[in-house]
Structure 1
Amino acid sequence: MRDVDKALADILEIRNRIASHTAFRGYGPFTITLTGVIGLVTASLQTLFPIAGTPSLFITEWLATAAFCAVLIGIEMTGRSRRLHSGLADAMIHQAVEQFLPAAAASFFLPVLLLEFSRENVWMVPGLWQIFVSLGIFASLHNWPRSMMWVGGFYFVTGFATLLFSSQSHALSPMMMGLPFFFGQLLMGAILYLTTGGSDGED
């Protein structure tokens, strides 16, 4: 049994190594672009209804938006990966989630902590969220097209710009989150479309 277990462990290790050096094609350009539109809709609704500017509701709505977008991406990612990566699909999905998980966790826990212990600094959240997205993208670059670094750079710059502008008023501005997210996801979707040769990602 030890030999069998060792052989299975070796096979798993080989698959993980292959997966780590294979371009991940589980993200679809249409769904990525759609998440940007959803973010812009969220920002627009928050602008139309000022009550959404209260810190707790602002963060709750954006966390709900992020969770909904993550579900959409996850559903498509699973289907595309099983179709395009076949036997490597599970390893590729696990790796993709693992790479982005630290940024996602920080994006959830930091706003909650600020609301609980430092509410006066909640104005920093939109800028920090964009920086976390940037870090998640850079952490995933070795499995994405190299041109995706432009998306990471975009979110990094807009994150710091948002922090700079928001520091003047300490106000939560929905559009300071919605507009960068919309254009960032639009850019990501365009890069995915161009590098995968089409929305289906098949050659």
Structure 2
Amino acid sequence: MRELNEALADIEAIRRRMAAGTEFRGFGPTALAATAGIALATAGLQFLVPPATALTFFVGWIVAAVLCVVLIAVEMVLRTGRAHGGLADAMLHQAIQHFLPAGFAGAAFAAIIARFSPDQAWLIPGLWQVLVGLGLFAAAPSLPRGAMLAAAWYFVCGFAVMMMLAGQSTISPWAMALPFAIGQTVLALVIHRASGSDHAGL
């Protein structure tokens, strides 16, 4: 029984090493492009019907973020099974590991600022963008090379947005939407191009 457990552990270790050296093909351009549309739609709605408070503003964006995550996750699960076969579980686990810390950090920053220093809420859009960039940088080894353009975009935009919003009592929804929409569009184009190259090579 011990030999069987050791053999299974060795197989799992081999699968993890193979996954670490394999480009992740679970992200799809359709869901990524759709998230750009969700960001613009959310900003348009908040522009037409301005939120009464900063909390209302961020609740709207949290709902949008959850919807985006669900869209990406559904397409990711479907594509990973087709693209990676027996490595699908290991590849999904690796992808989640890359982005989960940034996601938790973003949620924690928003909760702490909202609870203890709501007058600093202007920091959140920029912080979220920086964290998305860091998540993409962390996933760099398993993403197409061009994805680093989107990572750099988010990283630079995050700090630029923080500088532009510094000390403002109101936050424009476009400060959240435009960087995100452009970043997701760039990422969708990179993934689409990489997918096309893969099919061309078959």
Q: Same-fold call, TM > 0.5? A: yes
Moved over 6 A (4+): 198-202
Give the aligned partner of residue 58 of structure 1: 57
Contact 1:39 1:181 in 2 (8 A): yes
Give the aligned partner of residue 116 of structure 2: 117
In structure 2, relative to structure 1, the CA distance for the partners of 1:176 and 1:201 (3 Å cut) is farther
Give the aligned partner of residue 80 of structure 1: 79
* Secondary structure of the corresponding residue to residue 85 of structure 1: helix
Give the aligned partner of residue 164 of structure 2: 165
Take 1:182 and 1:194, find their aligned partners in 2: how far apart are those partners?
18
1:98 and 2:97 are equivalent in the alignment:
yes
Structure 1, 80-89 or 60-69: larger mean CA deviation: 60-69
In structure 2, relative to structure 1, the CA distance for the partners of 1:19 and 1:159 (3 Å cut) is same
- Give ranges in structure 2 of 5+ residues lacking alignment: none
Contact 1:46 1:53 in 2 (8 A): no
Take 2:171 and 2:122, find their aligned partners in 1: how far apart are those partners?
5
Shift of the alpha carbon at 1:170?
4.0
Normalising by structure 2, report the TM-score. 0.96
Normalising by structure 1, report the TM-score. 0.95
Give the aligned partner of residue 33 of structure 1: 33
Give the aligned partner of residue 88 of structure 2: 89
Give the aligned partner of residue 108 of structure 1: 107
Take 1:95 and 1:156, find their aligned partners in 2: how far apart are those partners?
22
Take 2:168 and 2:134, find their aligned partners in 1: how far apart are those partners?
26
Give the aligned partner of residue 184 of structure 2: 185
Give the aligned partner of residue 140 of structure 1: 139
Contact 2:120 2:167 in 1 (8 A): no
- Give ranges in structure 1 of 5+ residues lacking alignment: none
Q: RMSD of aligned C-alpha atoms?
A: 1.7
For these two proteins, the number of residue pairs brought into alignment is 202
Shift of the alpha carbon at 1:190?
0.5
Structure 1, 40-49 or 168-177: larger mean CA deviation: 168-177
